[in-house]
Structure 1
């Protein structure tokens, strides 16, 4: 009788597992349509996950414990997120970010605005770790220097550059979310992501450079900034150099950010003579920035509180979903039908992209992708770094070019260019995704010596477990 009951529960779990992502998808779409906080959509999904967990036999106590466990697992991500808000505000007040932006603007012409936009956005996003802040800071001034017919191309270059930092910056909150999703330390995650971002950046740069040769226009755009290369101005960029250097030396992200806060506070107080009260106000509310008649708040603790709430809500959803096993059931059914390595790669990347397309939230899609893919890889004794590579180059990046995804929607609003118009020019996203898929396929070919032969055939190891994704 017990065996029959367990089989019935397993059959029920497999049959109705689709309702959990479906309810979440409805919640996210409703929140976007009604212009409500995306947290509301996740809470609706959480409710659906709770009902599903109860239907497969989980007790209220188990649900509450799973909810608390998911929330607690996100505390480090939330703390670092708030520290990043402080750093960005201080670096704006201390002149680090404005100096980097103005240095780049000196060199912008009609003939090079495309690849310069990509390089500037890449550099700034690596410093501040936020694509949204990068687009908000660089978008208006660069597009003001851009001929109208090049708006979609330059917007695509800006989106590409912004996602470089979102994916690989020591200041990026996505790095923390990906670490949580695949069970790696932030330092290990950052090392992997920095190592694999170089080739896509180089490819994208030369592709945009070639494109620029074909759209060279007459004339010279008047530069709106006048920056003198003095020792003092160069000193302003030292905090950024220090943070990137510490990240390369594998200093813990938490300690790195504490150093960044300390150095940023010194620069803001002594270099620009900001008062302590004024700095504290900016640390809390964000640095006020007015561009083209619109006011922005860059960084700060208060704007990050909403993002922290989103992280905690996603953690609660993740905990209860793992308890009910809905996503695992769906994933098992998908991977059980794979017969080739190519199919394994296609399903892995396709599942991650599907989460981004359906859920409408970058952080949530990263968590769901990592949590559902990781068991399939560990079951086959494959390294979790491969899962990191997959979600970093699919769920993380593709979110910027999905019009109804929150990040893609914000990109279109900030840059004032339709997502559908800039999609063809977001080449960093496509190059990173392509190189990543090829690298993953090669890794599987090296690590797995037998082909798939159906449901009964499992992967077997070729040798050591220290194979690396190139």
Structure 2
């Protein structure tokens, strides 16, 4: 009886369901105007979701429980993010990243740094299966070898390459999440994602190569440390190699990073003239780096703590939103107006991208997109592989260029480049999205059936079977 009354109450407040995403967007716009931390905007959206949940019949106890469950689901991601900040700072202190920079400086020039950044990032992300780890390993040395005016472009190339593996690597946890969201086996999911990644990768590499032709003049490369490439210094590249090996062995990223922290700490204690106080300061604020008389900090916990606050607030928001049921009501209303394949494509991709912008988490956006689209596609006789194509090239990838999404925030924090600065150069995301829309539309034109027609077809088939 309680559940029935709540359902009636939800239907009664359907017209107010827009209140939840509207308040969230108001909060995001407000913090961008005021320059406040992004998590403040999510808190504003959380208040709106909480008020709606109470209005449709939820109790304060249910709201609290949903909020806590949402935050608990985010703790592992927060720990990984904090460990990445520590690893990067340690690798700067012990000389690992400077050594990689010295090795790379022999062949990286302004004429090729852009496409090399994309290619190396794509290859490494396919091996590791994590854009986060890829940016942490390649970001600082590649950006240190980049002229200032090309920093946003190279950051866009690194983000593009990192998303190649995040979307299509057999080592990526996102592949498993997408297979669950689309109700497909991981092997089928991986084959589909690999097949559709080839053309966007080729177009992105071609675009960056053409862009690089206009920057062929040699520019002085900044030097982080004077590194002599001896047998001893080559030991410094062991940590990133070990990260790759452990990832290939499918060791979870959390434990992988813990190993990297332990080795990095041992190396850091062997660095001459590094006091405990100085090391602690670098681990908190990041490693101080001066390039062209401009100082900034690489890695460290300070920026990652801010990101963790955003993650927890996003988790609480998602939990309360699911409790109120506002999103489900809005989705049902949108799909009720679909009568053509083209409309289905527009709404499906629009919803998936909206989840990436509203949920604050790549994984949450992917799962919610799949869970939302799957029944709607099934009712219209559309194959599940189309659902995979939609979420794999929209909510999965677009999360990296949304400044307040966890992934976009991680990219900006790790690379030290504002998300809005590298957004225009994340070409792989755009090529994959455009190609996906075209392929999905072509598939839907052949499969699309209105729910009423599908039910009638089933009725005729059952009647025919009984007659026989």
Provide the TM-score with structure 1 as the length reference. Answer: 0.74
- Work out the CA distance in 1 between the residues paired with 2:219 and 2:75: 47
Alignment of 1:85-234 (within 5 A): 85-109=85-109, 111-119=111-119, 129=133, 138-139=142-143, 141-144=145-148, 151=150, 155-165=152-162, 168=165, 196=194, 199=198, 200-213=200-213, 215=214, 217=216, 220-225=218-223, 229-234=229-234
Task: Tell whether the 8 Å contact from 2:6 to 2:57 is kept in structure 1 after alignment.
Answer: no
What's the counterpart of residue 396 of structure 1? 399
SS of the residue 2:147 aligns to: helix
Task: Tell whether the 8 Å contact from 1:345 to 1:441 is kept in structure 2 after alignment.
Answer: yes
Deviation (angstroms), 1:331: 1.6
- Work out the CA distance in 2 between the residues paired with 1:193 and 1:278: 49
SS of the residue 2:50 aligns to: helix
SS of the residue 1:106 aligns to: coil
Unaligned runs of 5+ in 2: 459-468
Alignment of 1:295-310 (within 5 A): 295-310=295-310
- Work out the CA distance in 2 between the residues paired with 1:108 and 1:139: 11
- Work out the CA distance in 2 between the residues paired with 1:285 and 1:193: 42
Alignment of 1:50-449 (within 5 A): 50-109=50-109, 111-119=111-119, 129=133, 138-139=142-143, 141-144=145-148, 151=150, 155-165=152-162, 168=165, 196=194, 199=198, 200-213=200-213, 215=214, 217=216, 220-225=218-223, 229-270=229-270, 274=274, 278-339=278-339, 343-355=343-355, 359=358, 363-364=360-361, 367-368=364-365, 370-377=367-374, 380=378, 382=384, 389-391=392-394, 393-399=396-402, 419=421, 425-437=425-437
Deviation (angstroms), 1:19: 0.8
Task: Tell whether the 8 Å contact from 1:337 to 1:454 is kept in structure 2 after alignment.
Answer: no
What's the counterpart of residue 466 of structure 1? none
What's the counterpart of residue 464 of structure 2? none
Deviations 1:19-71 (CA, angstroms, capped at 9, x unpaired):
10000110111111111111111111111111111111111111111111111
Larger Rg: 2
- Work out the CA distance in 1 between the residues paired with 2:68 and 2:264: 35
SS of the residue 1:322 aligns to: helix
Deviation (angstroms), 1:341: 5.4
What's the counterpart of residue 464 of structure 1? none
Q: 1:276 to 1:348 in 2, by over 3 A?
A: farther
Q: 1:137 to 1:336 in 2, by over 3 A?
A: farther
The total of aligned residue pairs comes to: 431
Q: 1:235 to 1:75 in 2, by over 3 A?
A: same
Deviation (angstroms), 1:374: 2.0
Q: 1:66 to 1:5 in 2, by over 3 A?
A: closer
Deviation (angstroms), 1:386: 5.6
Q: 1:139 to 1:304 in 2, by over 3 A?
A: same
Deviation (angstroms), 1:2: 9.4
Deviation (angstroms), 1:278: 4.1
What's the counterpart of residue 24 of structure 1? 24
Task: Tell whether the 8 Å contact from 2:412 to 2:418 is kept in structure 1 after alignment.
Answer: no
Deviation (angstroms), 1:375: 3.5
Deviation (angstroms), 1:130: 7.3
Query: CA RMSD, aligned part only?
Result: 4.6
Deviation (angstroms), 1:352: 2.9
- Work out the CA distance in 1 between the residues paired with 2:264 and 2:3: 62
Unaligned runs of 5+ in 1: 461-470
- Work out the CA distance in 1 between the residues paired with 2:88 and 2:44: 32
Task: Tell whether the 8 Å contact from 2:137 to 2:240 is kept in structure 1 after alignment.
Answer: no
What's the counterpart of residue 467 of structure 1? none
Deviations 1:169-194 (CA, angstroms, capped at 9, x unpaired):
69xxxx8899889978xxx89x9699
Deviation (angstroms), 1:280: 3.8
Task: Tell whether the 8 Å contact from 1:182 to 1:374 is kept in structure 2 after alignment.
Answer: no
Deviation (angstroms), 1:286: 2.4
Moved more, 265-274 or 203-212: 265-274
SS of the residue 1:221 aligns to: coil
- Work out the CA distance in 2 between the residues paired with 1:306 and 1:415: 16
Q: 1:132 to 1:74 in 2, by over 3 A?
A: same
SS of the residue 2:107 aligns to: coil
Q: 1:289 to 1:76 in 2, by over 3 A?
A: same
Deviation (angstroms), 1:250: 1.6
Deviation (angstroms), 1:258: 1.7
- Work out the CA distance in 2 between the residues paired with 1:195 and 1:236: 35
